[in-house]
Structure 1
Amino acid sequence: MTTVVTRDKPRVTDSEARRIAFAAFVGTALEWYDYFLFGTAASIVFNRLYFVSGDPLVAMLAAFASFAVGFLARPVGAVIFGHVGDRYGRRTSLIVTVTMIGVVTSLIGLLPDFAAIGVAAPVLLTCLRVLQGVAVGGEWGGAVTLAVEHAPPERRGRYAALPQVGSPVGTLLSSGAFALVSLLPPESFDSWGWRLPFLAAIPLLFVALYLRRRVEESPLFGELLEQQERSSLPVVEVMRKSFGRVLVGMCASLLGVGGFYLLTTFAISYGTETLGLPRSLMLGATLVAAAVEVAILLAFGRLAERLGSGRVCVLGSIASALAALPVFWLIDTRNPALVVVAITVGVACLSVPYAVSGSLLTELFPPHLRYSGVSIAFNLGGVVSGFVPLIATSVLAASGERSWSVALLLVGLAVLTGLGGALGARLRIKDEVSVR
């Protein structure tokens, strides 16, 4: 069932749509760079320097728990910034979110460790992670909403995919930064080297702010202002009238987020702690996978313009489910080349539904509720996804460290995402933006 919202069509140029989408991409790349740094550091730094324990498994679980807390905070950010975005403008909200996460990430780089301030170190680290989660909770929904609402209808797939590219670019930057500082002697890495990637958030923030401030407000939001169609309580209206759509969007988001963390954050820990593989190999594998993911996102974003976002989401979910067991079998070989292939293939498959999640979710909600609806749906999926590394670690331990148990977790995420894609295709709402 497709719903069409009829309205006078605001006009945008194709060149303007490209510029807006690029600005959304840069800001999103910074957000994910900052956010992914924590996941990588949780695997190789925080478990040793902040969550100190005599049992390595307990320390790792505590580090992953702090990682997951950020996802619990994301719906809070979705509610706060969704309200701001739907009431006062997408651009205003996005400037606040990108500033917030840049400042918080730099503070993590300055935070003393357990040896210096004791139990206050993990407590403060967890609090900063919560603030990261709040900022990210308002970022992605606004970025894709702004990109889509500036885009010509027939080319929304490619422009909605561009903010998605911020995820692998953020991975490349964060994993690359950690790969470089990992070359330092262990003593230097532990004392100050790991902090450098976090402190790099400050210069990157200035670049993102420059681009964000030059972005015009969404033409559809401008029309909502003129016609006084804004909701006074958009979050309440979304949950009261569109909760089913929220659940569909949540399911459609699971694989692209939760599966990604399974094959990056968890896989780094599994490879280094369980299989005894070099840290540099696991970080290098995520770098190769992220580079391939950029091409996958752009290609399938365009394919969605022909096949529809829902169909592409289903196809990617099927591919991910079929690849799950072979991916972990290859990792278990401990062969460096096969490990890189496994991570790359796995991330490539789950990147297909992620490529279209922006266009799929924005078409689930009408313009006056879009920022809130997209943000809430995506970040509720993020709450579940944030616990995936923790769940995978527990499942692996319960199964006697047999990786098939983790592969089945990936299959479950794929099934739920495929269901979300199929339902999303039937519930889409079309609103028109014309191109000059």
Structure 2
Amino acid sequence: MSERSGPAGAAAVTDAEARKVAFGAFVGTALEWYDFFLYGTAASLVFNRLYFATDDALVATLAAFASFAVGFAARPLGAVIFGHLGDRIGRKRCLIVTVTMIGLVTALIGLLPGYATIGVAAPVLLTLFRLLQGVAVGGEWGGAVTLAVEHAPPERRGRYAAMPQIGSPVGTLLSSGAFLAVSALPPESFDSWGWRVPFLAAFPLLAIALWLRRRVEESPLFEKLLEEDERASSPVLQVFATAWPQLLVGAGTAFLGVGGFYLITTFVISYGTTTLGMPRSVLLAATLVAAAVEIVVLVLGGRLAERHGAARVTVGGALGAALVAFPAFWLIDTTAVVAVVVGVTLATALLSVPYAVSGALLTELFPPHLRYSGVALSANIAGVVSGFVPLAATALLALGGGSSVLPTLLLVGISLVTAGCGFLAPRLSAGRDAVTTAEVRAPAD
């Protein structure tokens, strides 16, 4: 077992410790995304019927997706709150709070009565719970990837930075798998109690995540900053004042991994069931296969980042996603089961390449004393826009008379934004060495 020196004289951290931290970040992130993805799937299959009651199916779906988008709109608030606290009092403490918040809120959604029982209070409370989910997720990912990278040996930073990302497809597998299982129930059982089971499963999953999170050590780099009192007094404000170009470019590089993913999963589930008339089980199965393939892509992407750099991998993956957008939707439009699975999987695999290296790229954009805030804000600015992607794709679908051409062009546009920002990122980077050393000092503020 090898041992390395901590940053700027911090206590030595073993590779085993780095792996434990990355695994803890992965498990917590998997729970966060399991809970968050449950809402996206339920918005397509349940909430549009049971909570946003209307005779117009399109209006109900738009309302459900609007509540879905609220969670993304709340994520910057979480980034501000937990980014500030993470750069001031520590990464680990914030991550325990965020995982607790989202686990409890998700379980409460599983207990929430529908519109037929409590009327307008049902969609209001559901939207409030989604808001709280968004706040928690807004602070989760930035802290998880920062903690993992700051523990990582420089030569293996790409793979450790990819570990929290793997929580996303694992969360998808768990949430889609749970819904696929309960979707086999008779319709009346599914509507009355079946869909609630995956949400209530958040209770035991939360207990596991908390046990693992509490065993993770604080970032040695942050401990060094704390010891030498090099923290920024107002890290969020300082990011906006001095690092806004990095913030915008970072958000752009993260856009495809989040927005593109929701277009090819959440929107496609709704499109396939309502417009193409496909069984929901087929769309959920396609999402499961795509998520399994995504895990492999994320692992490989982390290795590619170590060899070629995160920015180059981002550009290559985004251009690839743009090229496969139309072929993927052509396959989906056939409604043939195998073709649909291949189409969803192909698009997901390509857009997951930039997502695999997002943690490595974003942590290089910001110096240590602003890192939690900068990474969280970048990812969640992208998240705000991404939350409206299913809504925008649904509106474009209606505008195009049910044709998939306009939603596909939306995916191409998102891909090109990420490619362009990936090209600009190295020119704004704080430097790879800044990730694991405390040589970048916090200016007096």
TM-score under structure 1 normalisation?
0.97
Which residue identity is paired with 1:139?
Answer: E
Alpha carbons 2:368, 2:435 under 8 Å: kept: no
Q: Deviations over 1:357-404 (max 9, x none)?
A: 000001100001000000001000000000000000000100111111
Q: Distance in 2 between matches of 1:54 and 1:432?
A: 54
Match of 2:306 in 1: 305
Q: Which runs of 5+ in 2 are unaligned?
A: 1-6, 438-445
Match in the other structure for 1:259? 260
Amino acid at match of 2:179: F
Take 2:192 and 2:125, find their aligned partners in 1: how far apart are those partners? 18
Where structure 1 has 5 or more consecutive residues not aligned to the other structure, the ranges are 1-5
Q: CA deviation at 1:7?
A: 4.4
Matches within 5 A, 1:117-136: 117-136=118-137
Q: Is the 8 A contact 1:275 1:334 kept in 2?
A: yes
Q: State whether structure 2 residue 405 is matched by structure 1 residue 431.
A: no
Q: Would the aligned equivalents of 2:254 and 2:379 in 1 still touch at CA under 8 Å?
A: yes
Map residues 11-410 of structure 1 onto 2, 5 A cutoff: 11-410=12-411
Residue deviations 1:303-346 (CA, integer Å, cap 9, x gap): 11010000000000010000001111111111110000000000
User: Deviations along 1:180-212, whole A, 9 cap, x unmatched?
Assistant: 000100000000000000000000000000000
Aligned residues, how many?
429
- What is the deviation of 1:8? 4.4
SS in 2 for 1:125: helix
Letter in 1 for 2:359: G
8 Å contact 2:149–2:435 — kept in the other structure? no
**SS of residue in 1 equivalent to 2:357:** helix
Instruction: Name the Cα RMSD after superposition.
Output: 1.0
Letter in 2 for 1:207: I
Deviations 1:111-166 (A, max 9, x none): 00000001110000000000000000000000000000000011100000010000
Distance 2:423 2:10 in 1: 28
Distance 1:153 1:427 in 2: 19
User: Structure 1 residue 10: deviation in Å?
Assistant: 5.4
In the alignment, the residues of structure 1 paired with residue 59 and residue 371 of structure 2 have an alpha-carbon distance, to the nearest angstrom, of 41
Q: Tell me the distance in 2 between the aligned counterparts of 1:232 and 1:388.
A: 35
Query: Identical aligned pairs, as a percentage?
Result: 69
1-side partners of 2:41 and 2:11: how far apart? 43
- Provide the TM-score with structure 2 as the length reference: 0.95
Of structures 1 and 2, the one scoring higher in RCO (CA 8 A, sep 6+) is: 1
By how many angstroms is 1:432 displaced? 5.8
* Cα displacement string for residues 190-239 of structure 1 (whole angstroms, at most 9, x for unaligned residues): 00000000000000000000000011100100110111100111100011
For the residues of structure 1 that align with 2:212 and 2:424, how far apart are their CA atoms? Answer: 36
**What SS does the aligned partner of 1:138 have?**
helix
Matched AA of 1:245? Q
Distance of 2:35 and 2:134 partners within structure 1: 11
| Preserved contact between residue 320 and residue 350 of structure 2 (Cα < 8 Å) | yes
- Contact 1:35 1:132 survives alignment (8 Å): yes
Which amino acid is 1:389 matched to? P
Q: CA offsets per residue over residues 11-37 of structure 1, 9 Å max, x none? A: 321111111000000000000000000
Residues 1:56 and 1:339: Cα distance change in structure 2 (over 3 Å): same
For the Cα contact (< 8 Å) 1:12–1:433, is it kept in 2?
A: no
Map of 1:415 onto structure 2? 416
* 8 Å CA contact 1:311, 1:425 repeated in 2: no
Offset at residue 421 of structure 1 (A)? 1.1
Task: Check conservation: 1:252, 1:418, Cα contact below 8 A.
Answer: yes
State the shift of 1:423 in Å. Answer: 1.3
Amino acid across the alignment from 1:247? L
2:443 aligns with none
Structure 1 CA distance, aligned partners of 2:399 and 2:34? Answer: 32
State how far apart, in whole Å, the 2-side matches of 1:182 and 1:138 are: 32
Asked if the contact 2:68/2:387 (under 8 Å) is kept, the reply is yes
